Amino acid sequence: MTGSDREAPALRPLLPPSESRAALRGAVEIATRAGALLRRLSRRRREVRFKGRINMVTDADRAAQTLCRDFLKRRFPSYGLLAEEGIDEGRGAECRWVLDPLDGTTNYAHGLPLYCVSLALAVRGRVEVGVVFCPPLGECFAARRGGGARLNGRRLHVSPVNRLLRAILVTGFPYDIRHKSGRAFHDFAAVCRRALAVRRFGSAAIDLSYVACGRFDAFWELRLNPWDTAAGALLVEEAGGSVTSFSGRPYRLDDPDILATNGSLHPALRRLLTGPPEALARP
């Protein structure tokens, strides 16, 4: 085991407990409100447009983002906000919300009940509060640094699986995979040959939440954005798991690649995902 694979010491919270609790309460409140809005709008005909070749955005994404932005500005006026649908406010603020108002837009637009609201609070660039709310299932995953991770109030812990052959993993493919596949397909095939099973749900925030609660044993993906991973990464860490870049560096908001595991599988998976491409073909 290399130095970068050893479990990192727990980081001390950057916010006073009273402030982090208030932020978590606010994040849970607005995520559940936005989730309720998404459910209501899902019963109507959806307006869909594309902001890339296969990257969808709907009227529901924009409506949920507006709801969240207005609430957060009223409740936390000094905090900045980075959100998927074109909001980049308060870049120099010490505290900044990171929001995906609808993660799993393609699922949502096709009536698949696998989508969520993802909201995190970063303090000096480090995630301190994270909430992922899945409206179709009524599941609210919530964490604050040093306070553990919970699902609807129940304490979470990652799975105990310690062999890839017994592990269920989850991943996703980047939107530009049609012309920049790179290692994505090689990695997917390599992991499929070594794991019990690999799934693809279409929402990185849900994938990470499911690692935190032990439904999945690990998650990896290339070329993601901060709003995709911020809340879920904290959930995994607070549930006892490990979250790094493929290189082994502890999770950072600006890292496009992410590997999140129950900890036990981290060294083996990281070696697999960073090995030479020709080695991936070997069973």
Rounded to whole angstroms, the Cα distance separating 28 from 141 reads 9
Q: Which has the higher per-residue pLDDT, 53 or 223?
A: 223
The last residue of one of the domains, among 121, 138, 155, is 155
Question: Do residues 243 and 260 make contact, with C-beta atoms less than 8 angstroms apart?
Answer: yes
- The answer to whether 208 and 214 are in contact (CB under 8 A) is no
pLDDT of residue 43: 79
204 and 269 share a domain? Answer: yes
- Total-model pTM: 0.90
Rounded distance, CA 47 to CA 66, Å? 16
Among 107, 131, 155, the domain boundary falls at: 155
- Residues 66, 133, single domain; the answer is yes
Q: What is the domain count for the chain? A: 2
Give the model confidence (pLDDT) of 22-79 as tens digits.
999 999 999 999 999 999 998 765 565 655 454 456 889 999 999 999 999 999 999 9
* CATH code of residue 143: 3.30.540.10
Q: What is the pLDDT of residues 105-159, one digit of tens each?
A: 999 999 999 999 999 999 999 999 999 999 999 999 999 999 999 999 999 999 9
Between strands 116-123 and 154-155, the pairing is unpaired
183: confidence class by pLDDT, cuts 50, 70, 90: confident
User: What's phi and psi for 9, nearest 5 deg?
Assistant: -65, 150
CB 115 within 8 A of CB 107: yes
Query: Is residue 12 domain-resident?
Result: no
| Percent of the chain clearing pLDDT 70 (strictly above) | 86
Q: Which CATH number characterizes residue 163's domain?
A: 3.40.190.80
Whether the predicted pLDDT of 265 surpasses 70: yes
Check whether 1 has a pLDDT greater than 60.
no
| pLDDT of amino acid 56 | 54
Q: pLDDT value at position 47?
A: 61
Residue 272 is assigned to a structural domain of this protein: yes
Question: Across all residues in the chain, what is the average pLDDT?
Answer: 89
Q: According to the model, what pLDDT value does residue 49 have?
A: 60
Q: How far is CA 166 from the centre of its chain?
A: 23
Domain residues for the domain of 61 are 17-155
